[in-house]
Each structure stands twice: as structure tokens, then as C-alpha cells.
Amino acid sequence: MTNLRVYVLIVAIASVYSTQLWAQKIEIGAGLGAMNYKGDISPDLQIGTAKLGGNLFFRYNLKKDLSFRASALMGSIAGDDKNSSDPFNQQRGKNFSTTINELSLTAEYNFFNYQYHRYHKDWSPYVFGGVGFMKFSPRDNPSADYKQNQIVLPFGVGIKYNIKGPWDLNLEFGTRKTFTDYLDNLGGNDPSLPKTQQNDYSKGDMYYYTSLTLSFKFIKIYCPPN
């Protein structure tokens, strides 16, 4: 019986210890930001047409310089030919609004070893890249028979800053490489459209997300006995 009690005690201590180690690597967060688009209706990035987006994420900090992140992004993009400097776009006069829901898995590389330290605030620039899945829904009826569920490749840069204790701020700019030309509900080479509504500025539309997020690390701080 004594050996059994010792075994149970060892397993319990090991479980608590491993849970603490796991918890120190876990981070959750949420944020708000601006979503922009570049494509047929907006061949140049138009800051004035930015729409609100929101994101949630779960981050696993594998090492001081490497993290993995699972994210959900919800928002919308919009564009208007009248805001373009191209006379062709201005004459065409098309506009659109599209909602986007995205799930992604990315890896982050911190240029500085980034970790919580009780004696100072830490910070680091970082880059990220990965793969995602998005569903987009145009405001108007689809102009052609195209898939609204698509694979995307998110990548970008950001800065992490420790506010206090487990609380961090992240400022990030991310680009989404897509494999569709219909985020704006207007294909660049659609024979069903009149010539006055066609162009080929983009072989695939892209969208961008600039965000400010607040995150929380599950950190166990050791307090020495008195």
C-alpha cells in the first residue's frame, strides 16, 4: 500500500508540473483592425475604403523565438472605381462589398528572444507565414459561377510588446495571397461581361489586415517562501 501511495504522489506531482510547463507556453488573444483589398476595382491599395475586422487567436510559444498560432478572422472588404486614379475604372463605375471569414494556422519567428521577464518589459519584431481557409460572400449576386470557399496564404510582419506581466500588445500587418479573382465579384477576364467592364490588373485578388491585439499568457510566477 505504501508503494502505491508513493506512486500516486509521484504521478500527481509530475502531472501538475507538466501542466504548469504547458500553461506557460499558452497564449490567447483578441483584436480589432482594418481590412483592405487590392484587385480589379482597386488596382492600388485604397486606405480610405478600409473596413472593420476582428480576430481571435490561440498561440503556442514553442521557444523564445518560435511560436505557432491558430486564428479566426471576421470582417469585410470594399472598393469603388470612383476612388481609383485610373480613367478606365472611373468610367466603369463599379463598386462592391464582400464579407470574409477566415481560419488560419501560421508560424511566427521573433527576431529577439521574446519571453516574459518580471524585471523588465520585453519586445520583439516578428514575421509570420502559413496557410488558411476563407469563405467570402459578396453583397450582390455572384456575377459568375465561382467558388466562394478558398485556400489563402497569410504572411506579414508585426511587433510584440509586453505591457505588464502576462499582458502583451501586438501590432501586425498581414497580407493574404488568394487564388481567386472574384473577391470583388468582378473577374478580370470574364467573357460574359461587356468589354467596358473587363480588365486584367489582377490574376488573383488580395486582401490585407492591419490589427492591434491584446493577448494574455498563462504564466506561473514563482514566489519564494518567507
The Cα 160–Cα 12 span in angstroms is 36
Which candidate, 211, 80, 98, places its Cα nearest to that of 150? 98
How buried is 224 (Cβ within 10 angstroms: 0-12 exposed, 13-18 middle, 19+ buried)?
A: exposed
Tens digit of pLDDT for each residue in 175-189?
Answer: 999 999 999 998 756
Q: Is 80 exceeded by the pLDDT of residue 67?
A: yes
Supply the pLDDT for residue 193: 64
Residues in Cβ contact with 151 at an 8 Å cutoff, skipping those fewer than 6 apart = 131, 132, 133, 134, 179
Percent residues over pLDDT 70 in the chain: 76
Assess contact for 37 and 79: CB atoms under 8 A: yes
Tens digit of pLDDT for each residue in 138-195?
Answer: 999 988 889 999 999 999 999 999 888 889 999 999 999 999 999 999 875 656 666 6
Supply the pLDDT for residue 201: 54
- Report the pLDDT averaged over residues 84-94: 82
27-217 — its CATH code? Answer: 2.40.160.20
Three cell numbers, residue 20: 504548469
Assess contact for 3 and 180: CB atoms under 8 A: no
Considering the entire predicted model, what is its pTM? 0.82
Residue 64, Cβ neighbours under 10 Å: how many?
13
Q: What length is written for the chain?
A: 226
Reported confidence tier of residue 112, pLDDT bands at 50, 70, 90:
confident
The domain limits of the chain are 27-217
